[in-house]
Amino acid sequence: MVAQEFALTYPERLKALILSGAFPKVATMGLRFEFFGGIHWIKKSPATLAWLLSKSHFRNSRYKYELREHMAKSNPEVWLSYYEHALIYDCTSRLHELEMPLLFLYGERAVWINHHARFYRNCKDATLVFVDQAFHQIPATHPQYFNPSIHEFLVRKLK
């Protein structure tokens, strides 16, 4: 959401926009459930939330540990504020303003997130990629598909 808002506010600063698991608003019950879960855990136990996120986003133990360590350094109030603001954020009426080349990557198994791809289908220059057998942590769990998709997109769009 942050990158989308940046692109909408400062389009002249971007040559392209690449988003993985993007959503212009929280439009599914599954994603809403995840956000409410995040709000619950950030209030109750930020360390537990960091553990849950690191476990679900990485297979490699070292990466899990590094993510937990970085999350432990964050301010829980800022984290909470992000979750609360994201629940009400909605840029769907402005998506037509995104005129730069756009790449959206989704895991085909993350139905509560990839449902949001429909919002981007009418963007001027959008490319949507669905990665088989992936959830929404594509950069961390499927780099063998993620990285080549980005490379091909950049070569094709930014000649």
- What pLDDT, in 10s, does the model give residues 32-68? 999 999 999 999 999 999 999 999 888 889 999 999 9
| Closest C-alpha to 137, from 70, 66, 58 | 58
Q: Give dist(CA 86, CA 26) in Å, integer.
A: 7
Mean pLDDT of 64-91: 94
Q: Would you say the C-alpha torsion 42, 44, 47, 50 has a positive or negative sign?
A: negative
pLDDT at 8 over 90: yes
Tokens of 93: 């009426």
pLDDT at 44: 96
Chain segment 15-30, per-residue pLDDT in tens: 999 999 999 999 999 9
Q: Give dist(CA 145, CA 106) in Å, integer.
A: 11
| Residues 129 and 148 sit within 8 Å (Cβ to Cβ) | no
Task: For each of the domains in the chain, give its residue range(s) and CATH number, in order of start.
Answer: 1-25+92-159 (3.40.50.1820), 28-88 (no CATH)
pTM for this entry = 0.91
